[in-house]
Amino acid sequence: MTERIVAIIPARYASTRLPGKPLLDIAGKPMILHVVERAKEVAAIDRVIVATDDERVWKAVNDAGEEAMMTSADHQTGTDRLAEVASKLDAEIIVNVQGDEPLIEPTIIESAIAPMLADDSIVMATTCEPIDSLEDVLNPNVVKVVVDNAGFALYFSRQPIPFPRAEVNQYGSLAEALKANPALLKLYAKHTGLYVYRRDFLLKYAGLHTTPLERTELLEQLRALENGYRIKVVKAAHRSIGVDTPEDLARVRQLMAQR
């Protein structure tokens, strides 16, 4: 049976800041299962698969009656893990849902899929959300994206882009310019890690050599731009919360408890 749209959730057990992250308990179940449930709420998705290199994650998912596939432990990126699973599927579109976003809104996933269904020429789509703090603009772990008038990515960077030159000249630094004129925050958008690919493009993309800008910024999506591929960027209506630190985990547990 051909599934037109398949969601794949990469889930590595190893994590520097949060060991065993996919299996961390949130509201009585492993985090990865919350993500699976969110993806399954999207009507357009025909199948949801967890891709992991750890038997503990595989067992937890299967014991819950969900689908998981074991992948190589040698993958350097989540895209490589995604491509290994996608290569075994008969699907048209692959959705990469991050395994550390247990509160992701199904509507965000739907909005990222929509351009792919509307326009066959789009081979890759992703999402972004507003930045509303000076700290996030200056934080290199918050990836910024700028787009063209048609909503396609021009560039992704860990640096604050665009650069408001006149205001920085006036106030002496970007930080001071943002403090003096908070409206400048509207210039910035945070790239979030949800991706949608045509399956054939994903397999081609994973096989491309790393590129100079990708290695410089340590941002894998730059490989697509450097090879001339366009990435559609969809503005998310809801903010996502990734679990990367103990503080993130505590916040998500609190929010889940309130629900």
d(CA 137, CA 170): 19
pLDDT of the residue at 203: 97
One-letter amino acid of 135: E
pLDDT of the residue at 19: 86
The two structure tokens encoding residue 235 = 């503005």
From the options 3.40.50.150, 3.90.550.10, 3.20.20.70, 2.60.40.10, give the CATH code of 1-104+244-259: 3.90.550.10
Q: Where are the beta strands (DSSP E) in the chain?
A: 3-11, 25-26, 29-30, 47-52, 67-70, 91-96, 124-130, 144-147, 153-157, 189-198, 232-235
pLDDT of the residue at 2: 62
Beta-bridge partner residues of 195? 96, 126
Rounded to two decimals, what is the model's pTM?
0.94
pLDDT of the residue at 244: 85
Give the CA count within 13 Å in the CB-facing half-sphere of 153.
32
pLDDT of the residue at 171: 98
pLDDT of the residue at 147: 98
CATH H superfamily, domain 105-193+200-239: Spore Coat Polysaccharide Biosynthesis Protein SpsA; Chain A (3.90.550.10)
pLDDT of the residue at 76: 80
Q: What is the mean pLDDT of each run of 10 residues along the chain (259 residues)?
A: 87 83 94 97 97 95 97 86 95 96 95 97 97 95 96 98 97 97 97 95 96 96 97 90 89 89
